[in-house]
Chains A and B, each alone.
Chain A
Amino acid sequence: MKAAAFRYHRATSLDDALAVMADDDEEVRALAGGQSLVPLMAMRLSRPEVLVDLNGVDALAGVALDGGHLRIGAMTRQRDVERSPLVAEHLPLLRTAIGHIGHVTIRHRGTIGGSVAHADPAAELPAAVVALGAEMVLASTGGTRVVPAEEFFDSYLVTAVEPGELLVEVRFPLGAVPARHGMAEFTRRAGDFAVAGAIVLADVAADLTVRRARVVPMAVDPAPRRSARAEELLVGRALDDGVIREVAAAVAAGCGPVDDIHGSAAYRRDLVAEMTRRALARLRQGAGE
C-alpha cells in the first residue's frame, strides 16, 4: 500500500496552490486533511501526478462572521468547526453533524472542505451543507465562482469542481434556512459511515405548525439532495406523529438506495424512514415551548 509516484508541492499561498492546479497537462489533486485521499492513494485507486498540499496555507482556515454569512475556510479542521462558538450559535446542526464523523482523532485532522469536496453520499458534511443551503466558493487562476450546495454534488464522489478549481470556502447564509434541527443516523459501529441517516431543519410554531422545512436523507442516493416531497408534506401542518410517519414514508419512497455488504436497498429504504422519523422527533423535542 504505497502510493504511486507523484510530485509533491507544498503550497505557500492560495495563489501558489491555484497556479499549480491550473496545469492542464497533469492530474493535480489537492491534499487537505488526507482522511480519504491518502488511503485511496495508498491503495492506488487515486493516482494524482501532482499533489498540492494545502496544509501550509493558513489563509484557508478559520471561521468568521461576515455580514449575513458564516464563512468557514475549506482547510478548517472539523474539530475546530465543532468547537467554534460561532458555529454553536449560528449553525448548531453543523456541530451535531460533525459529532457523528468518525472519532475525535479523525476530526482533528479532517477538514470541512476535504469532506465536502470528497462528496461521499454517506458522509455527514455533504448532507449538512445541502440542508443548510450553503454556498461553495470555488477559486481558480481565472477567478472565483460560487456554487450552491444543491448544485454542487453530482454523484458518488463527483462534484461541480472543474479541473484547476479549488474549494476554498464554505459560506453559510444566516437566517435563510430554518433554525431548529434534528439528525439521526444508523451505523454498524460508533463512528462508521451511515448505513442510512437523515437531517431535518424546520421552523415550528408554538402549535407545532411547520413554517419552513428542509429534509435531506443520507446514504440513500448517489449524492445528497433535499426531499421536496417530504418538505411539502411538512409545511403548514402540525408536527404530530401521523405527519412524521407520512414524511418518513415519503423520504423512503423518494430515495434510490443500492445494495452493499452493510445492507440491501430495501433495508436502507426502511432505515431512512426510521432515521427521518427520529430526526423529526428530535427536532420536535422542546419545540412549541
Chain B
Amino acid sequence: MTGTRHGHEPGVGGVGAVVRRHSDPALVTGHATFIDDIESGGTLHLAMVRSPFAHAEIKGVDASAALDLPGVHAVLTGAELVRHAKVQPVGWEHIDNQRAAPTYAMAVGKVRYCGQIVAAVAAESRALAEDAAELVEVDYEPLPVVHSIEDALAPDAPRLVPEWPDNVFGSQTYGNGDADAAFADAEVTVSERLTFGRQFGCPLEPRGAVATWERYTNRIELWINSQSPNRVREVVAEVLGVPVSGVRVRVPGIGGGFGSKANYYGEEILCCLLSRLTGRPVKYIEDRQESFVATSHAREQRIDVAVAATRDGVITALRGHIVGVLGGEISSVGMGPVWLSAVSIPGPYRIPNLELSVTGVLTNRTPYGSYRGWGAPKATFAMERIIERLARELGVDSNEIRRRNFVRPEEMPYSNGVFATLDSGRYEHCLDLCVERLRRDGWYRFREEARAAGRKVGIGVAAFVESTGIGPSRVMARLGIAQGGYDEAVVRMDSTGRVTVFTGQTEMGQGMSTTLAQLCADELNIPVDQITVVMGDTDACPYTGYGTGGSRAAAVGGVAVRQATGELKRQILRVASHQLEVDVADLEIADGLVQVRGLPGYGRTLADVAYAAYRRLTDVGEGTTPTLQGRAVFDPVALTYANGCAGVVVEVDPATGGVTVLGYVMVDDCGTMINPQIVDGQLHGGCAQAIGGALLEDLVYDRNGQLLTTTFMDYLLPTAMEVPPFSTVHVETPAPNTPGGMKGVGEAGTVPGPAAIAAAIDDAVDDPAVFVRHLPVSPEQVYRFCNAAG
C-alpha cells in the first residue's frame, strides 16, 4: 500500500491507494471457484441440440432414441417448454415503435439463427448428454435466409416475423436545431458510410448455470456466472411463474464477463425447468464452440455519418444514421446498444444541429446484446472518422478540428439536445496530454525517422466521451428500461470490530471487491485488510437495479457502499459517545480507536465499541438499537461522462498488409480514481479489446447464415504478442453529481481505440485515396490499400 491523500493515515488503503487485489491470490494459484466447480451429488448435465439451419420451420422433433439411451433423464423441446415458461422479457423497450418479437428460452416452432436451441437433453454426464443430443431427430423445413442489412431491408425480403410488414424491429430519429438548414447553408460538408464488424465479449470462461428446484420448498437455487444476479433472479421468477423471493441466485467467481454475461439467456431457464422435471440439480456449461453462436453478439452496424462545417473547421451540423444488424431473436437489451451508438455520435463536441437516427433490423444471426463499450466504440468511430475526413477536406490537422469543436469546461453542464448532458471534463487538456505523451515517448520522431527509411508508420488520435454510471432510475424508467439504475449496500461491523460489505455487485476479474473495500476503508479510516466484501448471493446481498455493467459498479455501487459505511460510522460513534461520555461531534476513528479529537489515544478500540453494541448493552445508550449496520440506497441523479483520448502508433507492412501496433497512449478521465492500479488494469484490458476489435476479431457468416468462425483459430483474440506496452495518463475531473466524484472506468479502454487505429493506418499508408471505412480491417484490405495500382 502506498500513500493516500484524503486525510486518513497511510496504511488504510483508502481512495487513491494502490492496494493489491483481494481476489488475486486465489486466482493466480488456481484456487478460485468458477461455475464449473459447482456440482452437488446427483447433478445431471445438459447438452443442447442446436439448429444447423439459420432459418427453418421445425416440423417435428423425435427424441425417442435419445430417451432410450441409459442415463438420459429428459429431453425438453420448445413444444413442451411453452407449457411451463413464459417469453423471455426484453429489458429495453425504449424505441417508440419497437415491435414485440416474443422470444422463448429455446426455439418454438421455428429457428431463426444457427445455434438456436431446439432441444435440451439432461443426462448423467455431459458426454452422455452429447451422445443423446446426436440421437434427437429434428425435421427442419429450411426457409430463405436474411443474411445482411441489404437482404433485411429489400422490399421482397423474407420476413423473420411473418406478422410484421418488414424486418425492422424499431426505428427512431432524434434531432436538435435544424440540421437540414445547416447542411444547406454549409461552407463545407463531408459524408461517409462506415461499417463495423460483428464481435462479442468472448470471456475465457464461457457461460454456465447449475439449478436446483427444491421439491418441497418449491424454491429455486440457481448458481450462474452472471454479472447481474438480481436481474437474473427477477427474470427466472417472471418466466417460470414463481415469486422473486422463491429464487436464490448465487454467483461464484466469474472468468470474465465483458457485458456478455450481463444479458440473460434461455439456458438458465432450461436448467431450472429441467431440474423441476427431473428432480435433480441440473448443470449446463456452454462449451467454447457453443459460445460463438449462443452468447450475445455485438458491435455490427452500418453508419452513415456527415457533418456540415465552416471553412474554419467549426462543425455546424451532424447527421448520423445507424442500422444495427440484430439477430434472429431479440436479446435482453433489445436494440439498446445500437440506439446508444446513434445518440452518442456527437461525443465531446459542441454541435448545434443534430439529426440522428437508429434502425434495428432482424437477420438470421445470433442475437445482438451487450459487449463492453456498448454503443460508444461505434459512435466514436463514426465521429472521429468524419473529423478526419473533414480535416482532409479542409487541409488542416484533425486535432485542430477537435480543438475548435470541443465542449469547454466552462460550458458544462452542456446538453447536446439529444441525449447527452456533458457534466465535466477537460477534453482539450486530455488531447494535449495525449499528444504530449506521444511526443515524450518519442513516437513523432520515430515516425519521421521510420518514414525517412521507407517504412510506413502512422499515428492516429481519437477523443471520446462515454456515458457511465448508469443510471438515474427515473430516467431509465422513462426510457422504457425495466430495471432501476440504483444500488443498495449494507455494511456491518461484527462484534469483534471487523467490517463486512454486502453488495449486489459482482467480481469478474476487475477487482471490484478490492475497490469497494477501499471506499469503506476510506470512510471508516480503518485498514482495508480488515474489510471483507460479500457478493454474489441474492439471499444475502442487497439489491442492485442493474448489476455490474455500464461502468457503474464504482460510480453507483461504490457510492452506496460509501453511504452505508457513513451510516455505520454514525452508529459506531453514537455507541462510543455513550461509552466515553463525549459528544459525537468530538469523536473520530483513527489508529483502530474511536478517540477524542485532539487527544490521540484517548478512546475505545473499535473492537470494544463493537463488543458493546452486540454483547454488553449496558454500555450502550437506552435509545440505541443493538448491532452495527448501515444501509444505503444510491440512485444517481444523472449520467456522468468519462472521457479522454487515445493515441495509437502502428506500422503497416505494405508487402503483406500486416499491421503492428507499436505504441498506445490512453488518456482517461474516470473522475476520482479509487485504486490507480486497478484503473490501469481496466484500461489495459479495454485497449487490448480495442486492438482485437480494430484488427482481428470478426464473426463471419456465409450467405446461408452459417457462422464460419467458431474456434479460436478463426475468431482471433489479441494475445500478449499483439498487444504493445500501454502508456496510460490519468486526468481526474470529479463527477459533479457523484458523491466521491467517480465516473467509472470499466469500458473506457474499448472506446477510442478502434477510431485511433483506423486513423493511424490512414496515416501510415499516407495516400489520399485511402480511408479506413470498415473495422476490423484485415491484412488483405490493408494490402489492397498499399497496392491499389497493382
Contact = CB atoms under 8 A, between A and B. Distances in A.
Contact of A189 (B288, B698, B722, B778): B722
Contacts of A39: 711
Nearest to B780: A267
A191 B778 CA distance: 17
B126 A189 contact: no
B718 interface: yes
A2 B289 CA distance: 11
A192 B713 CA distance: 8
Interface in B48-106: none
Contacts of B495: none
Interface residues of B, number: 30
A43 interface: yes
Most chain A C-beta atoms within 10 Å of own C-beta, residue among B656, B713, B714, B716: B656
Contacts of B708: 261
Contacts of A264: 780
Contacts of A271: 656
A2 B130 contact: yes
Contact of B131 (A4, A186, A263): A4
B783 A190 contact: no
A188 B716 contact: yes
Contacts of A263: 778-780
Interface residues of A, number: 24
Nearest to B700: A261
A3 interface: yes
Interface in B630-674: 655-658
A5 interface: yes
B579 interface: no
Given A44-B134, A186-B656, A189-B716, 8 more contacts: A4-B131, A39-B711, A43-B289, A190-B721, A192-B716, A261-B714, A263-B778, A274-B656
B719 interface: yes
Most chain A C-beta atoms within 10 Å of own C-beta, residue among B700, B718, B721: B721
A191 B721 contact: yes
B666 to A, nearest CB: 22
B127 A189 contact: no
Interface in B680-727: 696, 698, 700, 708-709, 711, 713-714, 716, 718-719, 721-722
Contacts of A262: 714, 778
A153 interface: no
Top 3 nearest A-B pairs (CB, nearest first) are: A190-B721, A2-B127, A1-B287
A175 to B, nearest CB: 34
A206 to B, nearest CB: 29
A67 to B, nearest CB: 40
A190 B722 contact: yes
A26 B543 CA distance: 58
Contacts of B714: 261-262
A151 B660 CA distance: 39
Nearest to A184: B656
B688 to A, nearest CB: 12
A99 to B, nearest CB: 14
Interface string A1-21: 111110000000000000000
A270 interface: yes
Interface in B248-304: 287-289
Interface in B294-350: none
A189 B696 contact: yes
A125 interface: no
B44 to A, nearest CB: 15
Contacts of A2: 126-127, 130
Interface of B: 126-127, 130-131, 134, 287-289, 655-658, 696, 698, 700, 708-709, 711, 713-714, 716, 718-719, 721-722, 778-780, 783, 787
Interface in A98-122: none
A188 to B, nearest CB: 5
Contacts of A192: 713, 716
Most chain B C-beta atoms within 10 Å of own C-beta, residue among A1, A5, A274: A1
Nearest to A3: B127
Interface in A180-194: 186, 188-193
Contacts of B130: 2, 4, 44
Contacts of A43: 289
A87 interface: no
30 contacts: A1-B287, A1-B289, A2-B127, A2-B130, A4-B130, A5-B131, A44-B130, A186-B779, A188-B779, A189-B716, A189-B719, A189-B721, A189-B722, A190-B719, A190-B721, A190-B722, A191-B719, A192-B713, A192-B716, A193-B713, A261-B698, A261-B700, A261-B709, A261-B714, A262-B714, A263-B779, A263-B780, A267-B780, A274-B655, A274-B656
Contacts of A267: 657, 780, 783
A188 B131 CA distance: 35
A272 to B, nearest CB: 11
A1 B778 CA distance: 30
Contacts of A280: none
Contacts of B719: 189-191
Contacts of B709: 261
A271 B127 CA distance: 42
A195 B658 CA distance: 11
Contacts of B700: 261
Contacts of B127: 2-3, 5
A271 B783 CA distance: 10
Nearest to A187: B658
Nearest to A2: B127
Contact of B783 (A5, A44, A261, A270): A270
A166 B657 CA distance: 41
Contacts of B713: 192-193
Contacts of B711: 39
Nearest to B781: A267
Contacts of A193: 713
Contacts of A3: 127
A60 B721 CA distance: 34
Contacts of A4: 130-131
Contacts of B657: 267
A192 B658 CA distance: 14
B289 A188 contact: no
A3 B657 CA distance: 39
A263 B779 CA distance: 8
A190 B657 CA distance: 15
Most chain B C-beta atoms within 10 Å of own C-beta, residue among A39, A43, A189: A189
